[in-house]
Structure 1
Amino acid sequence: MRNMQTRKTQIGPDDAGLNSMLTAARLDERRGRADVMASRLDNLADHIANGKLTSAEAAELLRDEAVKIVNEAQELH
């Protein structure tokens, strides 16, 4: 415990700008992900409608897509 250092972080006026930029970047990323998800769902809906899938086939298609989404999320972490 002898080598323990205490540092004080100075908070200044520039920090608010940085936090604002980070918040804007996060919101932009969320919007982008929402656009991708909406596109994927629209493609699935088209596939179900055009393929005249049964409810069981449509459910299986949705489950497969859910697995893909989970796998992609795990790759990001």
Structure 2
Amino acid sequence: MRNIETIKLGVDVEQLSTIITQARTEERAERGLQVARRLTDLAMRIQQKGLSGIEAAELLRQEAERYESEAQEAVH
């Protein structure tokens, strides 16, 4: 026979689920805001410097690499 000790936590599972869901929603909203700000910055830079289509595409490619790098750092 195994000795199994059951510990009751004073945390309601539904309450915890609600808190986690809310935190995820807030994090998504914050990330969306950050992306919008970065895109606005890129658009302004393209416009102010009068970049060609090829130069603008390169700038967007560099930004995509930045996103990929940040995502990989978050996973590791």
Same fold (TM over 0.5): yes
1:18 equivalent in structure 2:
16
Partner amino acid for 1:58?
A: A
State which of 54, 69, 72 in structure 2 corresponds to 1:71. Answer: 69
Alpha-carbon separation, structure 1, partners of 2:28 and 2:71: 13
Runs of 4+ in 1 over 4 A off after TM superposition: none
State which of 35, 43, 63 in structure 2 corresponds to 1:37. Answer: 35
Alpha-carbon separation, structure 1, partners of 2:70 and 2:12: 35
Alpha-carbon separation, structure 2, partners of 1:40 and 1:50: 15
1:61 equivalent in structure 2:
59
Alpha-carbon separation, structure 2, partners of 1:45 and 1:71: 21
Output one character per residue of 1:1-40: Cα deviation in whole Å (capped at 9) or x when no partner: xx8xx9x9x8xx8110100000000000000100100000
Alignment: residue pair count: 71
Alpha-carbon separation, structure 2, partners of 1:73 and 1:38: 17
Task: Show structure 1 runs of 5+ residues with no match.
Answer: none
